[in-house]
Structure 1
Amino acid sequence: MKKNALAAGLSRALACTLLLPAVAWSQFETPDGSVESDAKQLDAVVVQGEIAYRNRTSDIEPVLSYDLEYFQRFEPNTVGDMVKRLPGAAFVGTDIMEFDGVQLRGLGGGYTQVLINGKKVPGAGDDRSFWVDRIPAEMVDRIEILRSNSANRSGDAVAGAVNIVLRDAYEFDGSYLRIGVNRWYDGEVNPTFGAVTSGEALGGRILAGINVQDRYRAKFKRSDRFSDPSMEELVSWEDQTEVKDGRDYSGNLSYTANVGETGRFSIDGFYVRTRRDVTEVSFEEEYDDGEVINADVPGLATVDQKNWGIGAEYRFDMAGGATEISVDHARFEDDSVESEQAHAYVDGEWDESEAEMEGIDAKDAETAFKIAHKRAVGSAEMEFGIDYRSKKRDITHTFYEWEAEDEGDPVAYELDGTVASVIEEKRLDPYLMFSGTAGRLSWETGLRFETTKSDIRYVEDGETEGAAGKDYDELLPSLHLKWDLTDADRLSLSLARSIKRPNFNELVPAVLDGEFGDNDYIGNPHLDAETANGLDFGYERRLGRRGVVGINFFYRDVSNLIEMVNTGEPSEEALDAWEEMVDDGDYDTIEEAMAAEPAESWLFTSGNVGDGKVYGVEFDLSTPLGAFGLENTGVFMNYAYVKSKVDDFLGERRFNNQARSAFNIGFIQDLPSVGASFGVSYRKQGDAYERILAEEVTIRYGEDLEAFVEKRFGNNLSVRLSASNLLDASKDEFFHKFDTLGDQIARDHDEYELETEEAGPSYQLVMRWAF
């Protein structure tokens, strides 16, 4: 995937932007302002001769680009381990030492678009998010943050996009092996292995990579539950140990060949499979009217998930310009089972044993086709095209239950029902875009018209319980300006409109009893998509030969915000209470009971309620300290601070789960005379807050300190020892729980809970050998 200088960031975001035939691919600015396009030799990737810094790209739209070498010395295992170091990237709700659902600008996963080779991929999240820890770091060429939208890529990226560019055959040459071991806090040791090779074959170039790594994490969790935030009355407590033990298998393949004088054909694919057992052992103690209730609660989950995708592209000259045709298919599959037992004892005597089990069978597939043409129009360039995308998400939940008659009875599950939903979406998105350069000013402007046709079905125990359809379309304009004030100084301004489609669980017309305290919930298939008008204004300066410093201000005005609203219908809890009053003879009819005893819990749904605002500042620095005579010392720092405003059923708050800040700082010291280096990095993420019906929670993560030491042997071999979580950071959550909306308004708590989890430091020893 090589790039046109005027549209490099967009082509990397799409992995299929058209080329002018005389322009080389893979263009990044060098210190003298020129561009470089030589293929990387893999021995240089394995044994780095110098410290790598952020790329200063020639893109017109605001793009931050980081090669694998920027992260590699700290030996990340997954893309999540890489992305956590980037400006404005936060992870809220993930377990300690895990980085799956990335949030740019602190906004939830559904606001952040994740691309692989510039293409959308389905993922596990109900909010349409893709878990970035599914992709091994060894498959990656670079990570890009695309801060604003352009017309020639999908507009569903309100917070921005993370583009994971995998290694391809055209950019790499050579072979190498990666062999290592991880040691975890509890003494567990497991291996990791990777191999990459690239060279000429079958009339073109081929790159193939495989990666096998054990994924292990052991953690300890403690929960203390009180009657209210005064913490004067302890209601119950729980100790839990959890072990995630599994293995990831992954691979990627890339083939590129020239066709005729101007054509180029390429095909690329990736495959990732996660197999994991999650074992939980909990001990709970509850105090109720003088009785002490103890419970042993063992749990087990078996996870089997697959992500894979394949795409083909053909670019060729035609009609005085360049034409490109591409097709791709991506799929996510989940075949998992989760079970939990509870054996309760009252004052030491057996009371009851029960168990629940849930099976998940999920398939999410997306197929896309694109045709586009790019040509010169006067002194500008014009690109136009059309994207077609078809998506089908099919999920079935199967529930089982068991209850013992006597102590020691073996567990024998019985079917308790099935619930399934099918969501189908079809999109047809034409676009038109112009770009050009006038002196030191470069510009790009375009229009994208996104159409969506959706059909939703909800099936329970084989019977269709609800079905609906929804069509909507949005016009998404964009404008990007880039001023190169000097050879070192640059200003950029971006104005763009973006879209966020509703979460899948917000669309399914299924009634969920007691989903929020005593309140019920039903999805709304008639939701409109959220839209946002965005602004990004940034300044960037080159420091010396390799350094870059930048600051960016952003603002998003979000319309049609989706929040929970009361339907005015009573909940099942309220209906049952009224029926019980009639049965007890308190009232003659349910209508009389309803009039005399108003409902305290309701049926809620999701609705488009109004507007929200998000704004903040992002700073990043990546430079050697050559100005201080320390050319072999590299420093890295970035900081993002975000604020937001949303009105919900209780009033004003921030966007849910938006971390207030994200801060990274670190250094690498190279010792060329002895072929060694070492470094340290520190990360701190600000608190996040979530308020939903019947529950409010604050999430706080501790500081993350990492370090590495490396020894190089010649030009082909390196050995690194790295350490993570050296400060033994914890994840702390503070829950305010209520039964009804009235209780939440009155601050009449059902329970106040403090929960903390820790996982301890981990260590990794890795050898890389290029040949």
Structure 2
Amino acid sequence: MHSAFKYGLFFSAALTLAPLSHAQGDAESRQDTITVTASPIRDSQAAAINAKRNADNVVEVIAADTIGRFPDQTLAQALTRIPGLAVEGDQGEARFVNFRGGRFRYTTISFDGVDVLGADNGRIPRFDSIPAVITSAVEASKAVTPDTPGAPVLGHININTYSPFDTDGFGLSASAAVGETSLNDAYRKRYALRTSYSGDQFGILAFGTLDKRDRIVDNREYGLVPGGVESLDFRQYRGFRENYSYGGKAEFRPKDGPVDRLFATSIFYEFVDDEERNQHVFDFLDFAGDPATLAYGTSGTALALPTRLLEHGRYETSTFTNTIGADLELGEWLVTPRLNYTETKNFTSIPLVQSLGFSPFLASYDLANINDPIVTVSDLATGGPADIDNSYNLDLFINVFYKTDTTSTKGLVDFERDLTLFERDTVLKTGFAYDMREAEGGNATIVQVGGLPINPSSYATSTPWNSDFTNSIGAVYYDNVAMGNDLIAGYMAADPNFEIYPDFDPVEQFGIEENLFAAYAMATSEFDWGNLVYGLRVEHTDFSTDGNQVIAGVSTPINASNDYTNLLPSVHANFDLSDSLKLRLSATTGISRPSYPEARASQSVDAINLMVSGGNPDLDAEESIGLDASIEWYFDTASILSASAFYRSIDNVIYPGATMVDGSNFAPGLFAPGEMVAYNSFFNGEDGKLSGIEFNYIGTFDDFLPVEGFGATGNVSFLDSEFYAPSIGITAPIPGTSDLIYNASVFYENHGISARVSYQRRDTWLSTTESGPELNQYWDETERLDAKIQYQLPFDLSGATTVIFAEANNLTDYNDRRYIGTSATIDQIEGYGKSFMFGFSVDY
């Protein structure tokens, strides 16, 4: 159905625009490249707006200097300044981008025009560790052209990196900052350095960054049942997180000949989470010993069985991308070959020590404020305070670890030239790319019941939790690091061959090979009224995966493959209605392939619970058809007022779910022919729709009032989405869509002072990371109030400018909430406090 509609749409668009083509005269040539350099805030803002104005599609541009003026901890947070973009994070830190309310996977990422693998599952880009120090500008394309790598459903983010030739001779940019988080005064530090040298023909650049922060995170989670909660989970996480990066670029620019530029770039960035978990769970019973349900808003007494979980875990995600390339002038053609190698690593280790208590406490509870539930426990026999650190009967070691490693080797070449087509000045562009990708990984859960070589209770300290929530249970910190080290040492003493990360069993492994071929052709034709960009992209995917099917402990290798070709046309019309007013109309298509875990050929049969789970190699890629319209008024050099609307029809929406299948197809002998069992996997949905309208303002008050230095930015997006999930028979929002997103900031810059206060808010959205087969876990509305002030010293040191700054984040001390179904049934809440940083930067 999509195919017929798709080509009808583009045929109609071509017929509609054809009369305009023949009715107009020649136009002046347009700027083909977007260059944004760092300068004072108004000039930087003007450069970014000018780049947007001269672009051939709907695009937003942020200059690096503009990013630096905001109190953003990560590039992900900075991207929320773009209309329609929002973020989903973890424990207060922005990580993933919801582009126009879509899923993470609907956005692709590239460095200097070369797309790279997503660090999460091969598809999903993470923005919390990308080094801002090498970012000269960020381009966010909302309506993509045929030369856009990956042909994304909603948008593409291209990170332009600095060149050593951006500064003549020696260049240096360095910054350092320290601070703390209000919760437990956790320490923070951030350093960045970029240095470069350029001569007449040769230039070299190197950079390195470190952002490390100690952390304390309050967390409460709720065991929901109809009518209330059956358990309460008190947690506090501590430890540290860090992002670090390093890399460099070398360029050679000959004076003569067909070679304009030769270059090599290498970028490595990694996110590390060193996590210490202290967790106490209370399962409630009535006085007959049966499970009890505590109603919201009530108080009373019940019995409570205690469970304790302790952990010193680690999460690591890294990307290492390397590109060599050339810019060549071969006759009338500009030829730009590139060769890229990228690898990503995603590793998680969660070594949990779980302790179970079989004798219940007497629990007094108060759920009047469900955001801060109160539970106090006492000894059932004596009535005195319960000892929650020494009341357990069985210890378990649950060793959970998983990893996914991916590699990509990609070659691509683009060709571009000017010509006359249908008596119009036209830029013709075509190109080819071939990408060979491999992924391998696995996951394991190894459980040791009893017989631990340590006593977990002996690692309790006397230090109570430092919490903004009420620590009614009297929880104290444990020495998780020493406990983890002693646990491993104890196992190794008993068995010298013990491995904390043994090889994955066959059932736990998967392997994937994916080859992608892409070719495109597009033209940009100039007219008196503006220009027309039109073309076609073809992408062919050849996918194969191997894994294992396990039945009653017997492993059988299975293989699956899939290949498909997508034709992806697009057309963009850009109308210059006046010198300051521009209208854009676009029709586009896109594709989003299944992630590697979703499509893996790994299945297992649970002979006890009689169900099957695993990946789905037969998943179809998500396909989209989109329409965009934008009206942009450039009323001053650094100002814009714009409105835009968009619509996406998305077929084959991928979602987690369960369906009934003939069990004999998976386990003949265990299931009789025709016996239906549950299959938990990933499936294609139907009738996906995503639409919205966006308004954006950037300007200074002196455009209207006799004041200097003051200005404001603001944008608001109204979004709507849905799709049908046939396996569970419901219509749900597309994960990541908030009905309302808005950002606003007020700034002042004059006399060397730059100050800005910014506010962000988004409505509730279906969770993209934790919503299970029921598709019913939502993030509650979130908001952030941040501020930054900086002062440029009125003198320089040997030509270097120095800026001192202070920044504050989450000034309202907002907590993140998630709920099931409705906001009245809270699922979890976590708080992480305010944070403050003080530092300086030097640029030479």
TM-score with structure 1 setting the length: 0.84
In structure 2, the partner of 1:613 is: 689
Verify: 1:140 aligned to 2:135, yes or no. yes
Instruction: Tell whether 2:719 aligns with 1:642.
Output: yes
Residue matched to 1:663: 742
Alignment correspondent of 2:161: 166
**1:728 maps to which residue?**
813
Counterpart amino acid of residue 78 in structure 2:
M
Shift of 1:244: 4.4
Rounded to whole Å, the distance in 1 between the matches of 2:225 and 2:270 is 44
Return closer, same or farther for 1:51/1:312 CA change in 2, 3 Å cut-off: closer
Aligned-residue Cα RMSD (Å) equals 3.1
Judge conservation of contact 1:56–1:64 (CA < 8 Å) in 2: no
| Whole-angstrom distance in 1 between the partners of 2:582 and 2:30 | 23
Matching of residue 56 in structure 1 with residue 141 in structure 2: no
Q: Give SS of 1:693's match.
A: coil
Match of 2:266?
A: 269
Does structure 1 residue 328 correspond to structure 2 residue 325?
no
Whole-Å Cα distance in 1 between the matches of residues 312 and 399 of structure 2? 9
Deviation at 1:274, TM superposition (A): 3.1
Confirm or deny: 8 A CA contact 2:352 2:400 kept in the other structure.
no
- Change over 3 Å in CA distance of 1:666–1:347 after alignment to 2: same
- Find the residue that maps to 1:527 and give its secondary structure: coil
CA contact (8 A) 1:493 1:536 kept: yes
Q: Aligned to 2:360, which of 339, 344, 347?
A: 347
Q: What secondary structure, in the 3-state scheme, does the structure 1 residue paired with 2:128 have? A: helix
Structure 1: distance between partners of 2:597 and 2:535: 33
Question: Which of 142, 150, 153 does residue 145 from structure 2 map onto?
Answer: 150
Aligned to 1:52, the other structure's residue is in SS state helix
Task: List aligned pairs for 1:200-219, cutoff 5 A.
Answer: 200-201=198-199, 203-219=201-217
Displacement of 1:167:
1.8
* Matched residue SS, 1:158: coil
SS at match of 1:568: strand
Instruction: Give the Cα separation in 2 of the matches to 1:326 and 1:439.
Output: 35
Partner of 2:838: 765
Q: Do 1:180 and 1:764's aligned partners in 2 also have CA atoms closer than 8 Å?
A: yes
1:560 is displaced (CA, Å) by 2.9
- Structure 1 distance, partners of 2:583, 2:743, is 24
- Letter aligned with residue 52 of structure 1: Q
Q: Separation in 1 of the partners of 2:61 and 2:622?
A: 28
Per the alignment, residue 397 of structure 1 pairs with 443
Q: Distance in 2 between matches of 1:204 and 1:382?
A: 31
User: Is the 1:215–1:248 contact (alpha carbons within 8 Å) kept by the matching residues of 2?
Assistant: no
Match of 1:544 in 2: 636
Q: CA deviation at 1:770?
A: 2.2
Q: Cα deviation per residue 1:667-721 (whole Å; 9 max; x = unaligned)? A: 111231xx22322000001101256424621211432000112222025111110
CA distance in 2, matches of 1:683, 1:759: 17
C-alpha separation between the residues in 2 aligned to 1:309 and 1:647?
38
Distance 1:275 1:201, change over 3 A: farther
Report the Cα offset of residue 460 of structure 1: 7.5
Secondary structure of residue in 1 paired with 2:95: coil
- Tell me if the contact between 1:396 and 1:420 (Cα under 8 Å) persists in the aligned partners: yes
Report what 1:555 is aligned to. 647
Q: Point out the more displaced range, 505-514 or 339-348.
A: 505-514
Q: Is the 8 A contact 1:433 1:444 kept in 2?
A: yes
Superposition map of 1:513-524 within 5 A: 520-524=612-616
Change in 2 beyond 3 A, CA 1:570/1:727: farther
Which secondary structure does the structure 2 equivalent of 1:703 belong to?
strand
The SS at the match of 1:301 is strand
Shift in Å, 1:514? 7.8
Q: Which amino acid aligns with 1:140?
A: T
Could you report, residue by residue, the CA deviation over 1:86-119 in whole angstroms, capped at 9, with x for unpaired residues? 2111223x22421111110111111111222222
Kept in 2, the 8 Å contact 1:701–1:729? The answer is no
Match of 1:487 in 2: 579
Distance 2:60 2:763 in 1: 22
In the TM superposition, what whole-angstrom CA distance separates every residue of 1:497-537 from its partner, at most 9, and x where no partner exists? 1111112222113235689x996433221222121111110
How many angstroms apart in 2 are the aligned matches of 1:164 and 1:375? 24
Unaligned runs of 5+ in 1: 1-21, 29-36, 580-589, 738-750
2:408–2:437 Cα contact (<8 Å) kept: yes
**Closer, same or farther in 2 for the Cα pair 1:563/1:763, shift >3 Å?**
closer
CA deviation after TM superposition for structure 1 residue 248, in Å: 2.6
Q: Secondary structure at the residue paired with 1:242? A: strand
Q: What is the deviation of 1:643?
A: 0.7
2:651 and 2:127 map into 1 onto residues whose CA distance is 28
Q: Is the 8 A contact 1:400 1:417 kept in 2?
A: no
Letter in 2 for 1:301: G
Structure 1 residues 653 and 567, CA, compared in 2 at 3 Å: closer, same or farther? closer
Q: Distance in 1 between matches of 2:179 and 2:708?
A: 32
Match of 2:188 among 162, 187, 190: 190
Relative distance call for 1:699 and 1:389 in structure 2 (3 A) is same
Matching residue within 395, 402, 410 for 1:368: 410
Q: Deviations over 1:452-499 (max 9, x none)?
A: 101101148996632111110011111111011111000001111111
Pairing 1:632–2:630 present: no
Judging changes above 3 Å, is the alpha-carbon distance between structure 1 residues 551 and 385 closer, same or farther for their aligned structure 2 residues? same
Contact 2:187 2:213 in 1 (8 A): no
Residue 386 in structure 1 maps to residue 436 in structure 2 = no
Q: TM-score, normalised by structure 2?
A: 0.77
Residue in 2 that maps onto 1:623: 699
Change (3 A) 1:344 1:764: same
